[in-house]
């Protein structure tokens, strides 16, 4: 053994490892690792094999470029190969004459037209899990692989382990994202089809029930009112589903006009006074004596504000307070609905605007609702180029706020005369 050659591999190792850091992806990094292994151990070839759970075998993930096509789909059985034995026993192996080993897997040599003589293989281990094997073959001049070659390959195998593991995680992440996107598509299709199919029969029920209410006797008026009230509620749910779906699929339409946010807030606040009074809740509005005009669809903004106020009253205990404020911040109108109700846990806040999300499970909750109000409000605000958010502390209350781009202020006649 040549002592000067012995130190040179370890001397080169830090520079080689630094060079690996410029690799742009896992494939390139593994390729560079095999080149480094060839150089540092003085071998003819090197390969990285990864364990494939589905076939319970090893597969080549990095080999010299001239063998890549030949070996890319090749399967190395665990029980009929030296690499398999290293993988199963989790122990490095140095073999001087491979042909004498009964587990030598000759097929690879036949395919690549290569004759393996000596071999060094180490397991690739990540957090106690063996996930592959790193091999070098045919040390130059028929020399034996040394203890130092083992250490060198084991260090490179650590890098291979991290690379294989992170690329496995990346693959899992991508496939989970694809699955989630597919589920979301299915959900949207289901919602779209169901709400479309329900709308027509429900319209007929409501139409006929409203007609019958006018002609039936007083004794049937109350049950008829119940039918109409509940059918109207179903219609609202279907409309909410359709609204969010239209917004998410980009087909939502808005009828923009110059509208006064202060006026809409006043109207909505008035319409909820009875509901607030039934819980002895004080519902007030603070407008700063300004119209706060925006270019928007009045119906959609009304729905958004209504949903926030309805929730504030619903999730505030008897005797509480709900305050609606309208103000302006840098070219935007800001509306906030503040309550001193039950509040929202921090863990729920990132999901609160998701469709069908409810903090309490539908089995235990005392309130009605389908988890649609906030997602509808979000759609309505975002389709006007606005933004909605919440700040909340459990036991203290919540503030739901949104911003809408303000209508550019038209100069008053007197100002106009002055400036022209």
What does the binding site for ligand ADP look like in residue numbers (CB under 6 A)?
307, 311-312, 315, 339, 341-344, 352, 357-360, 369-375, 398
Nearer to ligand ADP (CB atom), residue 40 or residue 376? 376
To the nearest whole angstrom, how small is the minimum distance from the Cβ of residue 388 to ligand ADP? 12
Nearer to ligand ADP (CB atom), residue 154 or residue 248? 248
To the nearest whole angstrom, how small is the minimum distance from the Cβ of residue 289 to ligand ADP? 27
Candidates 20, 63, 44, 1; CA nearest to 155 is 20
Nearer to ligand ADP (CB atom), residue 160 or residue 281? 281
To the nearest whole angstrom, how small is the minimum distance from the Cβ of residue 272 to ligand ADP? 13
CA pair distance 394, 379, nearest whole angstrom: 26
To the nearest whole angstrom, how small is the minimum distance from the Cβ of residue 315 to ligand ADP? 3
Nearer to ligand ADP (CB atom), residue 261 or residue 312? 312
Q: What is the 3-state secondary structure (H, E, C) of the chain?
A: CCHHHHHHHHHHHHHHHHHHCCCCCHHHHHHHHHHHHHHHHCEEEEEEEEEECCCCEEEEEECCHHHHHHHCCCEEEHHHCHHHHHHHHCCCEEECCHHHCCCCCHHHHHHHCCCCCCEEEEEEEECCEEEEEEEEEEEHHHCCCCHHHHHHHHHHHHHHHHHHHHHHHHHHHHHHHHHHHHHHHHHHHHHHHHHHHHHHHHHHHHHHHHHHHHHCCHHHHHHHHHHHHHHHHHHHHHHHHHHHHHHHCCCCCCCCEEEEHHHHHHHHHHHCHHHHHHCCCEEEEECCCCCCEEEECHHHHHHHHHHHHHHHHHCCCCCCEEEEEEEEECCEEEEEEEECCCCCCCCCHHHCCCCCCCCCCCCCCCCCCCCCHHHHHHHHHHCCCCEEEEEEECCCEEEEEEEEECCCCCCCHHHHHHHC
Nearer to ligand ADP (CB atom), residue 188 or residue 210? 188
To the nearest whole angstrom, how small is the minimum distance from the Cβ of residue 369 to ligand ADP? 3
To the nearest whole angstrom, how small is the minimum distance from the Cβ of residue 399 to ligand ADP? 9
Nearer to ligand ADP (CB atom), residue 27 or residue 396? 396
Nearer to ligand ADP (CB atom), residue 242 or residue 398? 398
Nearer to ligand ADP (CB atom), residue 34 or residue 340? 340
To the nearest whole angstrom, how small is the minimum distance from the Cβ of residue 367 to ligand ADP? 6
To the nearest whole angstrom, how small is the minimum distance from the Cβ of residue 252 to ligand ADP? 18
């Amino acid at each position: 053994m040549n002592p000067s050659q012995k130190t040179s591999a370890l001397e080169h190792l830090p520079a080689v490892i630094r060079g690996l850091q410029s690799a742009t992806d896992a494939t390139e990094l593994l390729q560079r690792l095999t080149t480094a292994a060839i150089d540092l151990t003085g071998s003819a070839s090197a390969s990285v094999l990864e364990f494939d759970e589905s076939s319970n075998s090893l597969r080549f993930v990095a080999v010299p470029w001239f063998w890549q096509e030949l070996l890319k789909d090749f399967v190395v059985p665990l029980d009929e190969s030296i690499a398999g034995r290293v993988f199963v026993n989790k122990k490095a192996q140095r073999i001087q004459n491979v042909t004498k080993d009964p587990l030598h897997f000759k097929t690879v040599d036949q395919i690549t037209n290569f004759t393996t003589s000596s071999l060094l293989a180490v397991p690739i281990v990540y957090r106690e899990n063996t996930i592959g094997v790193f091999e070098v073959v045919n040390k130059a001049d028929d020399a034996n692989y040394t203890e130092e070659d083992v250490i060198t390959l084991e260090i490179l195998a650590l890098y291979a382990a991290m690379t294989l593991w992170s690329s496995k995680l990346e693959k899992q992440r991508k496939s989970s994202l694809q699955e989630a996107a597919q589920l979301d598509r299915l959900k949207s299709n289901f919602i779209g089809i169901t709400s479309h199919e329900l709308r027509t029969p429900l319209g007929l029920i409501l139409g006929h029930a409203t007609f019958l209410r006018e002609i039936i006797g007083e004794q049937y008026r109350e049950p008829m009112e119940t039918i109409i009230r509940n059918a109207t509620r179903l219609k609202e749910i279907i409309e909410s589903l359709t609204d969010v779906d239209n917004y998410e699929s980009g087909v939502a339409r808005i009828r923009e006009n110059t509208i006064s946010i202060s006026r809409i807030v006043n109207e909505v606040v008035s319409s909820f006074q009875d509901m607030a009074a039934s819980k002895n809740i004080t519902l007030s509005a603070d407008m700063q004596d300004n119209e706060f005009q925006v270019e928007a669809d009045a119906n959609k903004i009304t729905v958004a504000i209504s949903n926030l106020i309805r929730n504030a009253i619903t999730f505030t205990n008897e005797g509480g307070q709900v305050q609606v404020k309208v103000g302006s911040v840098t070219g935007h109108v800001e509306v906030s609905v503040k309550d001193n109700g039950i509040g929202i846990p921090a863990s729920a806040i990132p999901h609160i605007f998701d469709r069908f999300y409810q903090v309490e499970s539908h089995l235990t909750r005392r309130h009605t609702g389908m988890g649609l109000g906030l997602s509808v409000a979000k759609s309505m605000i975002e389709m006007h180029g606005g933004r909605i958010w919440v700040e909340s502390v459990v036991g203290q209350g919540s503030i739901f706020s949104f911003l809408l781009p303000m209508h550019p202020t038209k100069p008053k006649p007197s100002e106009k005369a002055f400036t022209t």
